[in-house]
Amino acid sequence: MSTTLEALINRPYEYGFVTDIESDAIPKGLSEDVIRLISKKKNEPDWLLEFRLNAYRHWLTMTEPVWANVSHAKIDYQDIIYYSAPKPKKKLASMDEVDPELLRTFEKLGVPMHERKMLANVAVDVIFDSVSVTTTYKEKLAEVGIIFCSFSEAVQHHPELVKQYLGSVVPSADNFFAALNSAVFTDGSFCYIPKNTRCPMDLSTYFRINNAESGQFERTLIIAEEGSHVSYLEGCTAPRFDTNQLHAAVVELVVLDNAEIKYSTVQNWYAGDENGVGGIYNFVTKRGLCKGVNSKISWTQVETGSAITWKYPSCVLLGDNSIGEFYSVALTNHHQQADTGTKMIHIGKNTRSRIVSKGISAGQSNNSYRGLVKISAKADGARNYSQCDSMLIGSACGAHTFPYIEVMNSTAKVEHEASTSRIGEDQMFYFASRGIGGEEAVSMIINGFCKEVFNHLPMEFAVEATKLLGLKLEGSVG
Amino acid sequence: MISSNSKVILEVRNLSASVAGIEILKGINLTVRSGEVHAIMGPNGSGKSTFSKVLAGHPGYTVTGGEVLFEGQNLLELPPEERARNGVFLAFQYPIEIPGVSNSAFLRLTYNTQQAHRGGEELDPLEFNDFIQEKCKIVEMDPSFLDRSVNEGFSGGEKKRNEILQMAVLDPRLAILDETDSGLDIDALRIVASGVNKLMTPDNAVIMVTHYQRLLNYITPDFVHVMRRGRIIKTGGKELALELETRGYDWLDDEHQKAASV
């Protein structure tokens, strides 16, 4: 039985291909000159160059964090290409002008960019390496005053908004990787939802790393004005490479009075081969600020890829009665390492947070939940509920839970529950004795285990997530 | 129920099996024909449950000798899921809980897998709903159980009823009920037994593994077999169960040894 399980979870990465497109890259290495060059290539205003340089100078004084429950060879930051853009770079008037090779790549990945996606009522801002290739639906969104564009475009067309909010949630000196990102980010997504506007569709960005040995440093900024609502989807896949690729993104969310951002991620970057060679290092800083009263941020993530994941989507609950949620599925296999979780910082009165984390470990992987619940002195009546469940497949993997709880207010109520289970022979036999074979049984058990999280994904994404877990652990889902 | 032209469903010949190197079954012989109900009784540790798990193909047991024919086919060479699809059903003594998987989704998957194997028609969720509502009546199960996770938070009696509901859905040729009566109060026992009786036809057969005679008050066996130390040491009619109830098992042991030494 255990050999069947092993066979099921050891499927090769489906998206391991490299697209052959000429890249416009600057040489390897990082210096003030490189940063000035990036800023110049992107035709940026001086204040942004200053932002980058300040971040860089601070970064030079920092050291890589070592507290995460992961291990990897030392990263040589001078051996990374910090900017690459696919050629040709001229503005494209329509989808027909997009490089056919690129379109085929999206096709293979199943990026539903054309009519299919339009019918599904989803706008896509496709990031290919570092530059946005095309943005759809922008005009339709503009009718209701929503801005959804690449970060570079936002810098050119809405500099006042970018200047006001950039670094307001994740300061450039926040941590080592956030500082690095602030210095060298090349593109990303920008989204602005005006007052009392409900975004008429889910906004979706498809990230993809393509250029071998190029780091990717996206920057995402989403602002939800008073009384607005938006659901944002982020999905990632990457092709197979032998050398590790560093990915250090920063995502900032700002939510004002009575507004809500729902941010969903499905991540399936190349995780390295079965011996742990290659794969993406995913060191991401994601943080949302519930600035206004009754504001809400809900993070939902399905993490299945990357060699190493270091990621803690967090909520700072500043406004009274604001709500933070974190729903997570993290799956590791082979030699993958994940150290992921969340931080819920309660500052306002009657703030509430809910954490539901599901970790699945297979192979020789290591899966850690790390979460902080902090109730500050002024957060009267704050409440938190955390639930961390781990599932083990096989006997060579590890599951760990590191909950940190800091409570400075006696009226607060904090609950933490945790469980560990294993897909065992008896469970598999129960399915088998009903005629259900190994693949479908594992799939059903895993999907049942993750149901509470999947329920928070938009329908289309939930289907994708189910498929991804299926791919990672077995074949198809029944 | 037994007619002269009933077919042999199961033929067990000199079956022996071990777990972790320890031999548990030491040469079992048993023939089950269509329309028959067989009760297998015996004290703790006699190998009753092992026998039922070996028939269903539990991977934890190693067959060390003998053969098992199911409708003429070598059962032992099939993986457990194929045995199930071919019509062997095991009702578990301790049914497994499957959090997050709704009972109806699980039942529909098992049903459709079975149908695909038999070349029958698969049902979509709506059609299946009509189908399963009828089946629920067999075990007097409230349809609200269909929306709950499989066996999660079910009482002992509810789990056993759920096993019989699965049997009703899969319509097996051979149902093996492993201690289905254990942990049941008298009402639940009546419901479960009545469910099994409703599912009996001249074309299928039941093997009941049980400690106690009381289940046999509700489901009348055609044969009662007594297992002891990995062997069937005595076979009789339903009256044998009553005798066991009053005399226990030890006298059989003596009798068996005497017979063996003669």
Contacts with B106 from chain A: Cβ below 8 Å: 434, 444
What pairing do the DSSP bridges indicate for beta strands A187-193 and A218-224? parallel
Kindly determine whether residue B110 and residue A435, on different chains, have CB atoms separated by under 8 Å: yes
N-term to C-term CA, chain A: 20
Helix (H, G, I), strand (E, B) or coil at A176: helix
Helices (H), A370-415: none
Please report where in the chains the tokens 């984390």 appear, as a residue. Answer: A357
Using the 8-state DSSP alphabet, how is residue A75 labeled?
A: P
Instruction: Give the list of residues 6+ apart from residue A316 with CB closer than 8 angstroms, or none.
Output: A169, A287, A288, A289, A290, A345, A347
Return the beta strands (E) in A17-116 as ranges. Answer: 23-25, 84-86
Q: Which of A430, A437, A449 sits opposite B100 (nearest CB)?
A: A449
**Res. B248: pLDDT tops 90:** no
Best mutation target among B55, B85, B98 (most A Cβ atoms within 10 Å) is: B98
What number is the average pLDDT over the span A108-122? 44
Beta bridge partners of A311: A284, A340
Task: Tell me how far CA of residue A202 lies from CA of A92, A132, A233, in angstroms.
Answer: 24, 19, 7
Measured distance CA(A332)–CA(A309) in Å, rounded = 10
| Chain A residue with minimum CA distance to B166 | A434
Q: Which of A4-8, B155-159, B195-199 is predicted least confidently?
A: A4-8
Give the mean model confidence (pLDDT) for residues A132-157.
78
Nearest Cα of chain B lies from the Cα of A436 at a distance, in angstroms, of: 6
State how beta strands B223-228 and B231-236 pair: antiparallel
For residue A337, give both structure tokens: 């390492």
* Digit-coded pLDDT (tens) for A247-287: 899 999 999 999 999 999 888 777 777 777 778 888 999 99
Residue A243, pLDDT above cutoff 70: no
Q: What is the pLDDT of residue A212?
A: 40
The fourth-level CATH superfamily of domain B8-261 is P-loop containing nucleotide triphosphate hydrolases (3.40.50.300)
With a cut of 90, say whether residue A388 has pLDDT above it: yes
- What would the pLDDT profile of B106-165 be if each residue is shown by its tens digit? 999 999 999 999 999 999 989 999 999 999 999 999 999 999 999 999 999 999 999 999
Do residue A431 and residue B100 have CB atoms under 8 angstroms apart?
Answer: no
pLDDT at A101: 59
Mean pLDDT over each residue of chain B, to the nearest integer: 91
**Three-state DSSP state, A44:** coil
pLDDT in tens, B18-61: 998 999 999 999 999 999 999 999 988 899 999 999 999 999 99
Tokens standing for residue A387: 């639930």
Please state, in angstroms and as integers, the Cα–Cα distance from residue A358 to each residue in A294, A396, A414, A454, following that order: 27, 19, 19, 11
Q: What mean pLDDT is predicted for residues A405-419?
A: 95
Is A194 a residue whose pLDDT tops 90?
Answer: yes
Mutual orientation of helices A2-9 and A459-473 as an angle, nearest 10°? 120
**Cβ atoms of B170 and B114 closer than 8 Å:** yes
pLDDT band of A120, cuts 50, 70, 90: very low
- Say which residue, A300 or A363, is predicted with more confidence: A300
* pLDDT value of position A273: 74
**Can you give the pLDDT at residue A133?**
40
CB–CB of A199/A260 below 8 Å?
A: no
A449 neighbourhood in chain B, CB within 8 Å: 99-100
Which residues of chain A have a CB within 8 Å of the CB of B57?
A: 429, 432-433
Average pLDDT of chain A, as a whole number = 81
What per-residue confidence (pLDDT) applies to B250? 81
Per-position b or e across A41-57, b if 16+ CB within 10 A of its CB: bbebeeebbebbbbbbe
Q: What percent of chain B has pLDDT over 90?
A: 77
Quote the pLDDT of residue B52. 96
CB within 8 Å of chain A, chain B residues 219-238? none
Least CA distance to B115: which residue of chain A?
A435
More confident residue, A77 or A286: A286
Interface size, chain A vs chain B, as Cβ–Cβ contacts under 8 Å: 75
Inter-chain residue contact B109 with A436, CB threshold 8 Å:
yes
> B251 burial class (0-12, 13-18, 19+ CB within 10 angstroms)?
exposed
Helix (H) / strand (E) containing B27: strand B22-33
Q: Shortest CB distance from A430 goes to which of B92, B99, B113?
A: B92
Of the pLDDT bands very low, low, confident and very high (cuts 50, 70, 90), residue A447 is confident
| Model ipTM value | 0.93
- Chain A contact probe: residue of B55, B94, B109 with most A CBs at under 10 A: B109
Q: Which two tokens stand for residue A165?
A: 């909010």
Using an 8 Å CB-CB cutoff, list chain B residues near A448. 98-101, 149
**Cα gap A155→A218, rounded to integer Å:** 14
Selected residues 377-406 of chain A with any CB under 8 Å from a CB in chain B: none
